[in-house]
A and B are shown apart, each in its own frame.
Chain A
Amino acid sequence: DAGVTQSPTHLIKTRGQQVTLRCSPKSGHDTVSWYQQALGQGPQFIFQYYEEEERQRGNFPDRFSGHQFPNYSSELNVNALLLGDSALYLCASSRRGVDEQFFGPGTRLTVL
């Protein structure tokens, strides 16, 4: 039974560029949440997708956007990258109505 998968593992971009990160949820899960984790901090909620709609959003600017596909996989897009966007981006999946979330290995983004 595959867990949550994310790609790519690592990414290096320069300021102003755009990036797309991908996530496939655990089998049987239909909900995907994205988090940003800066060094030494806990993960911060970006948004959650369910039924291909953004269901809730955290305190992140509109430069952060996402999408969920009919097979429940999801993408996170970040436009106009800033140095401060350098972080570990984590995708978590869950089942509808269940709070417990299971995380993928993350994508480590470095913005130069």
Chain B
Amino acid sequence: RKEVEQDPGPFNVPEGATVAFNCTYSNSASQSFFWYRQDCRKEPKLLMSVYSSGNEDGRFTAQLNRASQYMSLLIRDSKLSDSATYLCVVNLSNDYKLSFGAGTTVTVRA
């Protein structure tokens, strides 16, 4: 089993739609969780940290389910500029290493 697994997509949605996708991770004791976005041939950029109670940042909502070792990201009112690959990131062993999923590709069309 991969340490961090994501549905690769692609998710192809119209502008204004809501899109959601998931990630599972292998260590139930993990404490730190993030979503990064990566545009084509660019570096990953931190989108948001994910907290146990779930959190929102504008149109983005992250949820965490520790019991199921599962996290999700929801994007409301999608914009063309939301087209990117979204990387699920976990500090699996609570050390210094971040473990990345392979990414979920989202394309927002006009």
CA distance A56 to B99 in the complex (A): 13
Cβ 8 A contact of B42, one of A35, A43, A100, A105: A105
Task: State the interface size on chain B (CB cutoff 8 A).
Answer: 20
- Decide if A15 is an interface residue (CB 8 Å cutoff): no
Closest Cβ of chain A to B50, distance in Å, is 11
CA distance A33 to B98 in the complex (A): 9
Q: Given A43-B44, A48-B96, A56-B97, answer yes or no on A100-B34 (Cβ-Cβ < 8 Å).
A: yes
- Decide if A99 is an interface residue (CB 8 Å cutoff): yes
Of B51-59, B73-81, B100-108, the one with at least 4 CB within 8 A of chain A: B100-108
Q: Is the interface of A mostly helix, strand, loop or mixed?
A: strand
Residues of chain A in range 35-73 having any CB-CB distance to chain B below 8 Å: 35, 40-45, 48, 50, 55-56, 58
Instruction: Give B1-19 as 1s and 0s: 1 = Cβ < 8 Å from A's Cβ atoms.
Output: 0001000000000000000
From B45, which residue of chain A is reached at the shortest CB distance?
Answer: A103
CA distance A102 to B45 in the complex (A): 7
Q: Is the interface of B mostly helix, strand, loop or mixed?
A: strand
Cβ 8 A contact of A56, one of B4, B43, B95, B102: B95
- Decide if A25 is an interface residue (CB 8 Å cutoff): no
- Decide if B91 is an interface residue (CB 8 Å cutoff): yes
In the complex, are the beta carbons of B43 and A101 less than 8 A apart?
Answer: no
- Decide if B46 is an interface residue (CB 8 Å cutoff): yes
In the complex, are the beta carbons of A42 and B101 less than 8 A apart?
Answer: yes
In the complex, are the beta carbons of A100 and B96 less than 8 A apart?
Answer: no
- Can you report 27 A-B residue pairs in the complex whose CB atoms are below 8 A from each other? A31-B96, A33-B97, A42-B4, A42-B100, A42-B102, A42-B103, A43-B87, A43-B98, A43-B100, A45-B97, A48-B97, A56-B95, A90-B44, A99-B32, A99-B34, A99-B49, A99-B91, A99-B98, A100-B34, A100-B46, A100-B49, A101-B46, A103-B43, A103-B44, A103-B45, A106-B42, A106-B43
Residues of A bordering B, CB below 8 Å: 31, 33, 35, 40-45, 48, 50, 55-56, 58, 90, 92, 99-106
- 5 shortest interchain CB distances as A-B pairs: A42-B100, A103-B43, A99-B32, A56-B96, A45-B97
